[in-house]
């Protein structure tokens, strides 16, 4: 069964080896585990529902709790400590666009706010119910999960937007196709969620981000249905698909999505390369990206993340032999791990491999084969379970990500890590922080930073520490010219920092757009605009 107060399936664990725990204790001190509130106890705290009765709406306490939280650290703190102050009033499970339309009409007639729910994987507060007198209805789209049509000649597939990643891929693979969109949240996140948050999958170098995949669909808005037809390309004014992508549930409910699919690849391998230092590594991956070689993925870890990855791996003797070999090749202390993927036709992939390794070698890269790449592929959807394990040992973990042009990448990485260190130092708390570039472009890169620090005994102290860290890192992103989100979206947690990117005129334009689609504020949960 899926955990109600953490990540994923409750039968899946990501254990930490003793050396890794010792490494963490040396960096930031020992964690103090604590007991979490139980689901039944949390359910007993819920206020009565404020919704008028409707045959499609459940006011079951457990359903309401599960619909009211995502995966941000603030969500975790509330669930673990039992702070259930903002809870949806009911949950509906529509099975068609028509039923979504009926529920939106019901909400409009009864002054209800609607909060769409895909896979519940948001890490930026998308699912936090708004405060205020209006009741809130969660619209769980998980039953809109079928492959509705496959156009083989155009390679277009139409899905119910609530389909989760594994179900989407299973239905496509049965027909010989793949979407190729694999975010870390793949096991639970949904197609509709990917579209409305402008998601990016781990192999976006080959398949593209979701904006390259999304071809059209259907949006049910409080003002009526909005159909987006498909074209291979169009010069007929602004592309209205762009209104839907990144809209985060503020204009309506995406019920169907038409996506561009690809035949299943015949070949796929992931390779590992080590560099002697960050500057050489950054120059190497930038050179590969700008050469336009047909790789499917590149990921570069900074020295601290590289060290952390090796500590988490266990197998101390094997890691010791690897490090001895790398040291002889010039990649000793301060080394950086890069992974890259090859996906597609075998002959093309092998030629791309030779060319990429030559470029990387010119920058000091040492190729160590596919073993570490295979391990990454095996664990790429399991590593997020590490958050559960860290909590069990008395540590909290959070991530913040951005994207910027190449001259800003290294200063951005250093500023984000330093901002968190300084913010938590004011509480007398040490933080273990490390960064990787998860999506690499010719123009620049994403910058994805992880923060781990010891848990406090009470909710309020933990919340204050997180708020201070989050604010400091977000301010550093804005100051250094990065986007407030490369792949997680804005939600409510990042909304205060969006005006710096969009400017006042842009924010006014968004507000006008939302009023056009939703004059009564049915979808106004507070995402994007506070």
pLDDT at position 530 is: 81
Q: At what angle do helices 459-479 and 406-425 cross, to 10 degrees?
A: 150
Which residue has 């919704």 as its token pair? Answer: 51
Beta strand spans in 17-70 (E): 57-58
Using an 8 Å Cβ cutoff, are 364 and 307 in contact? no
pLDDT at position 314 is: 83
pLDDT at position 351 is: 98
Q: What is the pLDDT of residues 99-132, one digit of tens each?
A: 999 999 999 999 999 999 999 999 999 999 999 9
pLDDT at position 373 is: 97
Q: What percent of the chain has pLDDT over 90?
A: 98
Coil vs helix vs strand at 47: coil
Asked if the model's pLDDT at residue 315 lies above 90, the reply is no
Region 465-474: mean pLDDT is 98
Which residue has 């004011």 as its token pair? Answer: 426
C-alpha distances in angstroms, 315 versus 305, 310, 325? 17, 9, 16
pLDDT at position 172 is: 98
- Contacts of residue 507, defined as CB under 8 A and 6 or more positions apart, other chains included, come to 498, 499, 529
pLDDT at position 297 is: 98
- Longest Cα–Cα distance of the chain, Å, equals 72
H helix runs in 426-480, sequence order: 459-479
Instruction: Name the phi and psi angles at 283, rounded to 5.
Output: -65, -35
Which residue has 């909590």 as its token pair? Answer: 391
Looking at residue 497, the DSSP 8-state letter turns out to be G
H helix runs in 69-156, sequence order: 73-81, 97-109
Beta strand spans in 345-475 (E): 366-367, 395-405, 432-437, 444-454
Model pTM score? 0.97
Residue 252 to residue 254: CA distance in whole angstroms: 7
Work out the mean pLDDT of the chain and round it to a whole number. 97
- Centre a 10 Å sphere on the Cβ of residue 232 and count the other Cβ atoms it contains: 8
Query: pLDDT tier at 511 (50, 70, 90 boundaries)?
Result: very high
Residue 24 to residue 38: CA distance in whole angstroms: 28
Q: What is the pLDDT of residues 215-242, one digit of tens each?
A: 999 999 999 999 999 999 999 999 999 9
The CA-to-CA distance between both ends of the chain, in Å, stands at: 34
- Contacts of residue 192, defined as CB under 8 A and 6 or more positions apart, other chains included, come to 116, 118, 141, 144, 161, 162, 254, 255, 257
Structure tokens at 34: 């604590």
Residue 247 to residue 198: CA distance in whole angstroms: 9
H helix runs in 264-369, sequence order: 278-290, 303-313, 316-328, 346-361
Question: What does the DSSP assignment read for 278-293?
Answer: HHHHHHHHHHHHHTT-
Long-range pairs for 376-384 at CB < 8 Å and ≥24 separation?
A: 376/270, 376/299, 376/339, 377/270, 380/182, 380/184, 380/202, 381/184, 381/186, 381/187, 382/12, 382/14, 383/14, 383/184, 384/7, 384/8, 384/184, 384/185
Residue 355 to residue 291: CA distance in whole angstroms: 10
Query: pLDDT tier at 316 (50, 70, 90 boundaries)?
Result: confident
Asked if the model's pLDDT at residue 276 lies above 90, the reply is yes
Instruction: Name the phi and psi angles at 114, rounded to 5.
Output: -105, 130
**Bridging pattern class, strands 444-454 and 432-437:** antiparallel
165-193 b/e (C-beta count within 10 Å ≥ 16 → b): bebbbebbeeeebbbbbbbbbbbbbbbbb
Q: What is the pLDDT of residues 142-189, one digit of tens each?
A: 999 999 999 999 999 999 999 999 999 999 999 999 999 999 999 999
pLDDT at position 171 is: 98
Among the listed residues 335, 309, 291, the one whose alpha carbon sits nearest the alpha carbon of residue 434: 309
Region 343-349: mean pLDDT is 97
Q: At what angle do helices 303-313 and 18-28 cross, to 10 degrees?
A: 140
- Centre a 10 Å sphere on the Cβ of residue 378 and count the other Cβ atoms it contains: 11
**Bridging pattern class, strands 262-263 and 267-275:** unpaired
Query: pLDDT tier at 462 (50, 70, 90 boundaries)?
Result: very high
Instruction: Name the phi and psi angles at 219, rounded to 5.
Output: -115, 125
CA 490 to chain centroid = 11
- Contacts of residue 53, defined as CB under 8 A and 6 or more positions apart, other chains included, come to none
Which residue has 């504020």 as its token pair? Answer: 521
Our separate counts of H helices and E strands in the chain read 19, 18
**Bridging pattern class, strands 147-151 and 156-160:** antiparallel
Region 33-40: mean pLDDT is 96
Coil vs helix vs strand at 332: coil
C-alpha distances in angstroms, 93 versus 87, 98, 144, 217, 356? 17, 12, 9, 20, 48
Asked if the model's pLDDT at residue 291 lies above 90, the reply is yes
Region 92-98: mean pLDDT is 98
Beta strand spans in 68-213 (E): 90-92, 113-117, 136-140, 147-151, 156-160, 177-178
Using an 8 Å Cβ cutoff, are 275 and 364 in contact? yes
């Amino acid at each position: 069964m899926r955990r109600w107060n953490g990540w994923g399936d409750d039968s899946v664990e990501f254990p930490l080896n003793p050396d890794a725990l010792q490494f963490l204790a040396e960096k930031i001190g020992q964690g103090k585990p604590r007991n979490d509130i139980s689901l039944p106890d949390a359910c007993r705290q819920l206020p009565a529902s404020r919704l008028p009765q409707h045959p499609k709406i459940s006011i079951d306490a457990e359903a309401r709790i599960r619909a009211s939280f995502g995966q941000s650290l603030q969500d975790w703190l509330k669930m673990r400590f039992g702070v259930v102050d903002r809870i949806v009033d009911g949950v509906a499970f529509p099975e068609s666009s028509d039923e979504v339309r009926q529920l939106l009409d019901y909400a409009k007639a009864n002054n209800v706010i609607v909060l769409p729910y895909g896979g519940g994987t948001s890490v930026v507060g998308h699912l936090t119910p708004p405060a205020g007198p209006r009741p809130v209805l969660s619209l769980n789209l998980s039953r809109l999960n079928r492959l509705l049509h496959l156009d083989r000649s155009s390679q277009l597939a139409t899905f119910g937007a609530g389909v989760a990643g594994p179900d989407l891929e299973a239905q496509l693979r049965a027909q010989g196709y793949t979407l190729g969109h694999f975010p870390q949240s793949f096991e639970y996140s949904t197609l509709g969620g990917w579209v409305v948050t402008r998601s990016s999958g781990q192999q976006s170098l080959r398949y593209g981000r979701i904006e390259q995949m999304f071809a059209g669909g259907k949006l049910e808005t409080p003002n009526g249905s909005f159909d987006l037809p498909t074209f291979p390309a169009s010069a007929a004014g602004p592309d209205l698909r762009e209104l839907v992508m990144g809209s985060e549930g503020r204009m309506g409910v995406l019920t169907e999505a038409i996506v561009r699919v690809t035949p299943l690849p015949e070949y796929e391998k992931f390779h590992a390369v080590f560099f002697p230092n960050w500057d050489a590594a950054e120059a190497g991956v930038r050179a590969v990206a700008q050469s336009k070689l047909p790789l499917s993925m590149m990921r570069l870890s900074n020295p601290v993340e590289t060290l952390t990855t090796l500590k988490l791996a266990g197998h101390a003797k094997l890691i010791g032999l690897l490090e001895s070999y790398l040291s002889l090749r010039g990649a000793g202390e301060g080394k950086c791990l890069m992974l890259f993927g090859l996906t597609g036709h075998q002959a093309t992939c092998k030629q791309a491999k030779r060319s990429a390794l030559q470029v990387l070698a010119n920058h000091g890269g040492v190729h160590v084969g596919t073993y570490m790449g295979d391990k990454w592929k095996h664990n790429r959807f399991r590593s997020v379970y590490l958050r559960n394990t860290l909590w069990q040992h008395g540590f909290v973990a959070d991530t913040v990500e951005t994207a910027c042009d190449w001259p800003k990448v290294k200063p951005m990485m250093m500023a984000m890590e330093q901002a968190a260190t300084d913010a938590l130092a004011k509480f007398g708390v040490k933080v273990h922080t490390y960064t990787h570039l998860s999506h690499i472009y010719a123009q620049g890169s994403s910058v994805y930073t992880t923060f781990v620090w010891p848990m406090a005994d009470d909710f309020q102290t933990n919340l204050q520490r997180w708020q201070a860290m989050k604010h400091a890192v977000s301010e550093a992103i804005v100051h250094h010219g990065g986007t407030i989100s490369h792949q997680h979206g804005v939600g409510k947690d990042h909304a205060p920092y969006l005006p710096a990117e969009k400017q006042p005129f842009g924010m006014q334009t968004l507000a006008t757009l939302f009023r056009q689609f939703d004059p009564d504020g049915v979808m106004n949960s507070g995402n994007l605009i506070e």
